[in-house]
Amino acid sequence: MKDNYVVKHCSPTLAGLKTGSLFSVSGESREAINNDLRALNEVLRKKGLRIIPLRYTNKYVLIYMYRFKKLKEDLMRPETRKILCNKGYNCANPDVCVAQLVEHLKNDKDFPHEIGLFLGYPEKDVKGFMNNPDEGVMCMGCWKVYGDVEEAKRTFQIFNRCTEWYCHAINHGRTLEQLIVPD
């Protein structure tokens, strides 16, 4: 897994602007991906980030990069806790909560759309998508917005600028480790 691929999909998380990012990798063996993730974790953990495989399929691996402290803070928000507790999550421990997300991805018939809470999306938008993904959408960007459109648009713009800057930096000699904003 190349650093520029990680940067393309995770820049706002690397910059400390976002709780987590999801991306998929295909065309590599499970062993190669796991080796890449282990090596990446050596760099990321020093700066407060983690990267794990969430789901393996025959075609791809779904990967989650996140900031542990930011996820822990997100899980303490009352509305987030309420949504996740109603879905069977134990929010007391972020590691347990992430492990439960992996189980939901593995065992649930439907995709667990509460995953947006693990990415730092606003609760109102996650709830709106969970209730009816097509009804009430006010705008779309990194996610579907059901609540504060202006705030979402500002956030999308910040994320896009961050990704552009990070992609430029990695393509002009900066290393992934140099680009990570520590906790």
Tokens of 37: 């993730």
Query: For residue 162, is pLDDT > 80?
Result: yes
Q: What is the pLDDT of the chain when averaged over all its residues?
A: 95
Tokens of 5: 């691929």
* Each residue's pLDDT tens digit, 45-66: 999 999 999 999 999 999 999 9
Q: What percent of the chain has pLDDT over 90?
A: 92
Q: Hey, is 110 helix, strand or coil?
A: coil
Query: Structural domain boundaries of the chain?
Result: 3-176
Measured between alpha carbons, how far is 112 from 42 in angstroms, rounded to an integer? 29
Side-chain half-sphere CA neighbours of 126 within 13 A = 19
Query: For residue 103, is pLDDT > 90?
Result: yes
Whether residue 180 contacts residue 43, with contact meaning beta carbons closer than 8 Å, is answered with yes
* Each residue's pLDDT tens digit, 6-39: 999 999 999 999 999 999 999 888 999 999 999 9
pTM, to two decimals = 0.94
Q: Which residues pair with 22 in a beta bridge?
A: 64
b/e burial code for range 120-144 (CB count within 10 A of at least 16 → b): bbbbebbbbbbeeeeeeeeeeebbb
Task: Count the neighbouring beta carbons within 10 Å of the beta carbon of residue 90.
Answer: 12
Measured between alpha carbons, how far is 77 from 75 in angstroms, rounded to an integer? 6
The owner of tokens 């552009």 is 164
Between the alpha carbon of residue 178 and those of residues 15, 57, 120, 175, the distances in Å are: 11, 32, 23, 5
